[in-house]
Amino acid sequence: MDSNNYCIIMAGGVGSRFWPLSRSSKPKQFLDILGTGSSLLRQTFDRFVQIIPAENILIVTSSVYGDIVMEQIPEMSEENILLEPLRRNTAPCIAYASYKIKKKNPDARIVVAPSDHLIIKESKFLKVVEKGLDFVGSENALLTLGITPSRPETGYGYIQVNGDAPKPTKERSISPVKTFTEKPDMKMARVFLESGEFYWNAGIFFWSLESILNALQRYLPEVDSIFSEMKGVYNTNREKKYIAEAYAGCKNISIDYGVMEKAANVYVLTSDFGWSDLGTWGSLYEQKKKDKAKNSITGENVMSYDLKNCFVNLPDDKLAVIQGLDDFIVVESDGILLICNKKEEQKIKNFVNDVRLQKGEDHI
């Protein structure tokens, strides 16, 4: 393994779209949501540790989840678990981790990845990661991972390659980026798919330490200055105190909006390795085995009649009789039951907010 290769795993999300199974006390990245015997975070760590030294993997999460990370990945050094006192999106998270890495290795090459994605073709994915790290090791580039779209998907952001450049092929899979586009409507998603210029944005990034720090200094100087001024306290007993002060004064901004959409040296590495961001119940339904009526049913005591296209996830000790639903989500966890039309699941975040206001934080 190359000792200059590092990985930053982002594990601070609250996973509200997977409510009520995912709760603020234990979000989806800490759950065995795929039924494999391992949490999504554990799977992510086990994936990267195959090609990156364990001591070079950092996990950034909320301070309230530090104990869960240690429980699920006991071999992690506490020094490599970065605890954020406040949620400030991905740019501060990446700046914090990058300056921690700089203290150890200014020649580092870094891959940044979320903790809760599904990767089906793991060996192919790891080869893509190695290719990305090799590229940013020799080029002053900010590289993002683009997934070849298989359908007009409205749940993902898109990356457009530069139309004047040669289109990606199996032999040439890295291209300059022209634009980043947020989640489109179905009509636009079809246009994207037909054009051949757009790829799903996987939210996975590669860069050298030097390239990302230069980009932060140029495009997010107010964020960069907060973390660069702390260079004397990283990996000391003063770090926690200073980080609390830093986050209190730090803006909430994503790396996509703050850096990637502004920089000129942005490239996309395109591939297809069976990827899903598992962002919704619907995306999980797509990955699950289904019966002849296209139902995915989890729960030993679910009795179903005339169900079609449904996702049902109930604890084994719950007896449920469900009849006549088509294209619904039915989920129960800790006494909270969600029944929602699959086509309307984007409203789950609104439901969660209403529950918070009307029933209290204990239910969130």
The pLDDT > 90 percentage for the chain reads 82
* Mean pLDDT across the chain: 93
In the chain, % helix, strand, coil (3-state, to 5) comes to 35, 25, 40
Q: Lowest mean pLDDT of 117-131, 143-157, 250-264, 337-351, name the range.
A: 143-157
Average pLDDT, integer, range 7-23 = 92
Q: How far apart are CA 9 and CA 115, in angstroms?
A: 6
Q: How far apart are the first and last CA of the chain?
A: 42
Look at 340 and 195; give whichever has higher pLDDT. 340
> Would you state the pLDDT for residue 317?
95
Alpha carbon distance 146, 11 (integer Å): 21
* Closest by CA position to 57, among listed 91, 99, 7, 22: 7
At 172, is the pLDDT very low, low, confident or very high (cuts 50, 70, 90)? low
Please state the pTM of the whole predicted model.
Answer: 0.92
pLDDT, greater one: 327 or 148: 327
How many other C-beta atoms can be found within 10 angstroms of the C-beta atom of residue 106?
A: 12
| pLDDT attached to residue 209 | 98
Mean pLDDT of all residues in 75-87 = 95
Residue 207 is predicted with a pLDDT of 98
Most confident of 155-159, 225-229, 342-346: 225-229
Calculate ∠ Cα 64-67-68, nearest 5°: 90
% residues pLDDT > 70 (the chain): 97
pLDDT reported for residue 2: 92
Maximum pairwise Cα distance, the chain: 65
3 state SS of 98 = helix
Q: What per-residue confidence (pLDDT) applies to 170?
A: 56
Can you read off the two tokens belonging to residue 85?
A: 């006192």
pLDDT of residue 311 exceeding 70, the answer is: yes
Instruction: Pull the structure tokens for residue 284.
Output: 């999980």
For the chain, which domains are there? 5-279 (3.90.550.10), 282-363 (no CATH)
pLDDT tens figures, 246-262: 999 999 999 999 999 99
Would you state the pLDDT for residue 156?
86
pLDDT at 355 over 80: yes
Q: Give the pLDDT confidence score for residue 166 in this predicted structure.
A: 56
From the list 230, 204, 263, 252, the residue with the least C-alpha distance to 98 is: 230
At residue 164, the pLDDT reads 62
Residue 180 has pLDDT above 60, yes or no: yes
Per-residue pLDDT, 231: 87
Contacts of 352 (CB under 8 A, 6+ apart): 16, 19, 364
